[in-house]
């Protein structure tokens, strides 16, 4: 058991291996937060909540108790209207137009295991005793609105998940206007906030800011988790860094509009929250209806950001991702997109696949342009029928010919979109997101199908499934290339139009559940113009994501480093592309491009038939080396060594669970004249073992103690070259 209820002190104590989370029932009815941090060994705590009167401007909920005010209490799920002037976790409008709510404790249950969330992705357990769940039922006695606040604690991971289910047990309709998944009040404001922000081709850069009085917020209003923000924030304690100190992370298992925010109040306490964005959101709850929020994943680390990341990595790799491919090494692929764009035919595709087979590549992926009349990005989305002008013998014949050589065959789709120039749009112009009498804003010459509609979801399932059944396809790249505008649905009534964006996500999740469960042998990779929907919600259905459309090795250092704050290497698609790079024009060496891409799910995105013999030999060697290392890279423990946001040098490493093997990458962006000599200090090794070492394939004659490698370090390469890289491989010999 890892959840304990102390009847004497009315406290709930949630314990994982190294973390405690403590809640108290105050006056037997109000749910308040006491503690989140390093594990407390007892099952109850002796020092309870301190209550003092702070100011007359903080209203007193109980007239006879001037020490009690919601304005000063650390609450677990705060509402609006009863004297708390900070950001509420939920808001609900009632039939009389008022928005005051007052939730009181009713009951609780402690469950072995972890229930699923209806219609939503969430973490899970494979054995019931891996986790325990606390469900606390709160109710507003005046309106009948009930909220079941759920907490699951994983015994062996420092992770706690939270979600809320609203149930209208009253007689009148209620409009939910805000429904966050998690809210935690911390006792002080001595933190830095970290977020992962950027833009298309510049996703998930690491940004820090000190907390100041007031609200600090990141948010997506784009209909997806977005390139610009990621549904994650962390608070770093006063002395926290990569390897030490207290860190608190919140991550949302959701792919649509979200908000993550921190508010510092007048008393220098901190409220940390994450959930659905309340912007343009409302949900009508008629009597008897329920509404489920997405799941928030809370991680505490006493080992800095690195400890936080490794918890997220293991949880998301093993208890969020699902299916056949979760624990299997991922194939090395060649994708034809940057090699041909839309200009290809069957002989050209077969020639690239044949070249890949010669070099040891395992999977060929046919990207955009194989369907309808798709010679550019202005047409045919929604018409998932092969283009016989490009593929005269059909997609099935092409796939069979390629798989007959021993290669696997994969295919690109963009099923959520529709082109106005398509048979689908001409037949069903009302199937896209739109608002009556408003023009339809275009993005990349396309519109978004309305997945809040069941008929649209059924069409996507049927049309995509027909293609997947027609050929020996083992991989799908599922793309989504624009953000939402004119967010409205032809089938929803006026008082439910603000439900459209969330209903879209529920529709998408239902589509993904049906398709991925029907084709369990297919490895699905999520994509949204690269990393525009790199979030935990998509990882539940697809165990990897195309990390960014920016394939430049130097830019990828920051993108992959930032992504690693939350997401494991097994989730990151990373490819070698051509030079000059198609996004930034940089001329990085093939060696460096290969080394950076090897730090994720490895592949190539260029015309292999145009490589020189020397380049082909190097690619062949890269492929062979990755095959030796990929289990370590995809499933090992990840450590960040040097940050690209702080230095001209970037370094990271992977260590096997048994500490028998390690792989480290070292990357220099620009050459520095007469620069310093460096030592690279490793992490995660066994200090009592000795290791052999090779650098860029050259084995050192010496062996090194693990403690020496970590505390004294190894000599870093002294290279007078821009865009230089080196790979270190360590193997235990004692």
CA end-to-end span of the chain: 39
Separation of alpha carbons 566 and 315, rounded Å: 10
Q: Is there a binding annotation on residue 444?
A: yes
Query: Closest Cα partner for 202 from 441, 550, 543, 445?
Result: 550
Handedness of CA 77, 82, 88, 91 (dihedral sign): positive
CA 502 to chain CA centroid, Å, is: 18
Q: Which CA distances in Å does 238 have to 260, 308, 522? A: 21, 16, 46
Distance (Å, rounded) from C-alpha 450 to C-alpha 454?
A: 9
Residue 327 is labelled as binding a ligand? no
d(CA 30, CA 51): 14
Cβ-contact 731, 692 below 8 angstroms: yes
Instruction: Write down how long the chain is.
Output: 734
Element (H, E) at 291: strand 290-292
Q: 397: helix, coil or strand?
A: helix
Say whether the peptide bond before residue 438 is cis (omega within 30 degrees of 0): no
549 is annotated as an active-site residue = yes
CB 129 within 8 A of CB 55: no
DSSP codes, 625-654: HHHHHHHHHHHSEEEEEE-TTT-SEEEEEE
User: Helix/strand/coil (H, E, C) string of 315-336?
Assistant: HHHHHCCCCCCCCCCCCCEEEC
Question: Is 700 within any annotated ligand binding site?
Answer: no
Q: Give the pair of three-digit tokens for residue 330.
A: 């991922």
Cα dihedral 535, 540, 544, 547, rounded to 10, equals -10
Kindly name the residue from 479, 535, 550, 552 that is annotated as catalytic: 479
Hey, what are 17's tokens?
Answer: 């291996």
Specify burial of residue 404 (Cβ count, 10 A radius: 0-12, 13-18, 19+). Answer: exposed
Of 202, 270, 179, 272, nearest in space to 232 by CA: 272
Angle at the Cα of 294 from the Cα atoms of 292 and 296, rounded to 5 degrees? 130
Residue 489, CA distances (Å) to 173, 500, 527, 628 in order = 22, 6, 24, 51
Q: Residue 573: which of 591, 590, 597, 589 has the closest Cα?
A: 597
d(CA 48, CA 390): 72
Annotated ligand binding at 65? The verdict is no
CA distances from residue 58 to 69, 106, 194 in whole angstroms, order as listed = 6, 26, 31
Whether 368 has a binding-site annotation, put simply, is yes
284 annotated ligand-binding residue: no
**Active-site residue identified among 71, 383, 549, 550:** 549
> What does the alpha-carbon distance between residue 645 and residue 207 come to, in Å, rounded to a whole number?
9
Task: For residue 336, say whether it is annotated as part of any ligand binding site.
Answer: no
Separation CA 148–CA 292 (nearest Å): 9
387 annotated active-site: no
Query: Is 384 annotated as belonging to a binding site?
Result: no
Residue the block writes with tokens 């940089």: 586
Angle, CA 202 vertex, CA 196 and CA 205 arms, to 5° = 25
Binding site annotation covers 283?
no
Cα(440)–Cα(220) distance, integer angstroms: 21
Q: Distance between CA 151 and CA 22 in Å, rounded?
A: 11
Rounded to whole angstroms, the Cα distance separating 384 from 460 reads 9
Residue 129 marked in a binding site:
no
200 annotated binding-site participant: yes
Each residue of 269-308: b (16+ CB within 10 Å) or e?
A: bbbbbbbbbbeebbbbbeeeeebbbbbbbbbbbbbbbbbb
Distance CA 224, CA 519 (A): 25
Show which residues are catalytic: 479, 549
Which positions make up the binding site?
Answer: 200, 367-368, 444, 477-481, 527, 549
Which positions make up the binding site for substrate?
Answer: 200, 367-368, 444, 477-481, 527, 549
């Amino acid at each position: 058991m890892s959840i304990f209820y102390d009847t004497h002190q009315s406290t709930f104590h949630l314990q994982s291996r190294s973390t405690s989370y403590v809640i108290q029932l105050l006056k037997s009815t109000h749910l308040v937060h006491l503690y989140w941090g390093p594990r407390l060994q007892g099952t109850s705590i002796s020092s309870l909540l301190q209550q003092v009167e702070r100011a007359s401007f903080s209203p007193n909920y109980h007239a006879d108790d001037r020490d009690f005010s919601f304005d000063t209490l650390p609450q677990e799920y705060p509402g609006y209207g009863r004297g708390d002037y900070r950001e509420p976790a939920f808001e609900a409008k009632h039939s009389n137009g008022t928005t005051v709510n007052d939730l009181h404790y009713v009951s609780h249950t402690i469950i072995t295991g972890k229930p699923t969330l209806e219609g939503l992705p969430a973490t899970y357990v494979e054995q019931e005793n891996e986790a325990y769940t606390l469900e606390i039922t709160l109710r507003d006695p005046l309106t009948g609105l009930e909220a079941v606040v759920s907490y699951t604690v994983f015994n062996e991971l420092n992770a706690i998940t939270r979600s809320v289910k609203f149930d209208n047990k009253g007689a009148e309709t209620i409009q939910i206007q805000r429904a966050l998944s998690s809210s935690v009040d911390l006792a002080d404001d001595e933190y830095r906030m970290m977020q992962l922000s950027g833009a298309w081709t510049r996703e998930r850069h690491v940004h820090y800011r000190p907390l100041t009085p007031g609200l600090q917020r990141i948010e997506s209003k784009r209909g997806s988790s977005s390139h610009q923000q990621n549904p994650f924030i962390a608070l770093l304690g006063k002395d926290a860094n990569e390897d030490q100190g207290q860190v608190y992370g919140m991550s949302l298992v959701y792919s649509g509009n979200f908000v993550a925010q921190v508010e510092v109040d007048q008393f220098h306490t901190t409220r940390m929250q994450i959930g659905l964005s309340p912007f343009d959101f409302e949900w009508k709850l008629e009597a008897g209806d329920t509404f489920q929020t997405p799941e928030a994943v809370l991680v505490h680390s006493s080992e800095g950001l690195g400890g936080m990341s490794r918890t997220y990595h293991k949880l998301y790799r093993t208890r969020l991702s699902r299916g056949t491919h979760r624990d299997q090494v991922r194939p090395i692929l060649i994708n034809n997109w940057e090699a041909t764009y839309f200009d290809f035919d069957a002989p050209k595709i077969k020639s690239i696949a044949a070249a890949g087979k010669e070099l040891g590549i395992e999977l060929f992926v046919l990207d955009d342009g194989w369907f309808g009349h798709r010679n550019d990005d202005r047409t045919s989305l929604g018409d998932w029928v092969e283009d016989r002008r490009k593929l005269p013998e059909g997609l099935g014949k092409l796939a069979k010919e390629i798989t007959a050589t021993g290669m696997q065959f994969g295919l690109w789709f963009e099923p959520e979109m529709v082109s106005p120039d398509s048979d689908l749009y001409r037949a069903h112009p009302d199937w896209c997101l739109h608002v009556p009498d408003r023009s339809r804003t275009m993005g990349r010459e396309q519109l978004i199908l309305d997945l809040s509609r069941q008929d649209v979801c059924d069409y996507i399932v049927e049309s995509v499934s027909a293609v997947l059944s027609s050929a020996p396809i083992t991989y799908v790249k599922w793309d989504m290339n624009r953000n939402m505008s004119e967010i409205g649905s032809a089938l929803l009534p006026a008082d439910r139009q603000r439900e459209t964006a969330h209903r879209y996500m529920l529709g998408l999740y239902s589509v993904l559940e049906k398709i991925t469960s029907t084709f369990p042998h297919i490895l699905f990779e999520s994509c949204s113009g690269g990393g525009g929907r790199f979030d935990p919600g998509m990882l539940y259905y697809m165990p990897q994501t195309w990390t960014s459309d920016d394939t430049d090795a130097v830019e990828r250092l920051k993108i992959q480093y930032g992504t690693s704050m939350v997401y494991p290497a097994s989730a990151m698609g990373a490819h070698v592309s051509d030079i000059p790079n198609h996004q930034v024009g940089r001329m990085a060496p093939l060696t460096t491009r290969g080394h950076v891409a090897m730090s994720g799910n490895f592949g190539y995105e260029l015309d292999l038939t145009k490589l020189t013999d020397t380049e082909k030999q190097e690619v062949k060697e890269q492929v062979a080396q990755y095959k030796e290392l990929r289990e370590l890279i995809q499933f090992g423990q990840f450590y960040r060594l040097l940050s690209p946001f702080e230095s001209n040098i970037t370094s990271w490493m992977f260590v096997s669970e048994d500490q028998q093997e390690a792989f480290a990458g070292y990357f220099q962006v620009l050459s520095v004249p007469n620069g310093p000599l460096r030592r690279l200090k490793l992490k995660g090794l066994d200090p009592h073992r000795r290791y052999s070492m090779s650098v860029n394939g050259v084995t050192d004659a010496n062996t090194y103690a693990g403690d020496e490698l970590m505390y004294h370090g190894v000599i870093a390469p002294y290279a007078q070259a821009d865009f230089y890289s080196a790979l270190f491989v360590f193997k235990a010999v004692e």
